Amino acid sequence: MIGYYVLAGAIFLISMYVSNKLKSKFKKYSKVHLQNGMSGKEIAEKMLADNGITDVEVISVAGQLTDHYNPKTKTVNLSEPVYMQRNAAAAAVAAHEVGHAVQHATAYNWLQMRSAIVPAVGISSKLSNFVIMGGIILSAMGMALGNWVFLIGIGLFAMTTVFSFITLPVEYDASNRALAWLKTENMVTPEEYAGSKDALKWAARTYLVAALGSLATLLYFISMFMGRR
């Protein structure tokens, strides 16, 4: 178990670094004000209109970096700073979230796949660690059932790992759609575009680190299981 804690600690430190870097980037580009004077809300509404999407609402939600698209309610949820402010960071986030709405409207395969497994992943993410620990404890007590419980736990954890990797093309594609629209529609100046691109790059890296961390943990659990056989 010591190896697991070392691995978990390393993943946590890398995740913290990327998260802090993301926050600093958004703080930096929040000072790059848009020459077109549009707020994040207005950017989102224009991108929706340009893509012929009329049944999605742009709303404000509390918090910071809490922005997301909800396919069930068809709402682009922008955090208060993004919703109201008129800068490169707000433009990037608003356009990215609309990118998800465009994915939904065009039945983007990776988004459909991710949405389909969300219920199962919600259950597996809550149970996997408990089941794995239960398997380890039962095995330590000399019970043969422990290995089977451990294997079930690994299967549950594997589902969350698969979900994290399916999320990657969804997030990268949304950013690509956002940046392409911002550029082709001349919504931003070259400096503003560079800031938006850099901000989205670091946002994507949070998902990449999470996926790699999940994979590393899964491989560690598998190696533990193989060592017990």
In sequence order, what DSSP letters do the residues of 199-217 get, joined into one string? HHHHHHHHHHHHHHHHHHH
Catalytic entry in 42, 97, 171, 192: 97
57 is catalytic: no
Residues 6+ apart with CB under 8 A from 211: 161, 164, 165, 167, 168
Long-range residue pairs from 108-116, CB within 8 A, at least 24 positions apart, any chain: 108/170, 108/173, 110/166, 110/169, 110/170, 110/173, 111/71, 111/170, 113/166, 114/163, 114/166, 114/167, 114/170, 115/71
57-61/75-79 β-pairing:
parallel
At residue 69, what are phi and psi to the nearest 5 degrees?
-110, 130
Rounded to the nearest 10 degrees, how much is the dihedral formed by the CA atoms of 157, 21, 95, 179? -100
Residue with tokens 């979230």: 97
> Which residues, listed in sequence order, are joined to residue 57 by a DSSP beta bridge?
75
Best CA proximity match to 170, nearest among 102, 111, 115, 99: 111
Which residues are identified as catalytic? 97
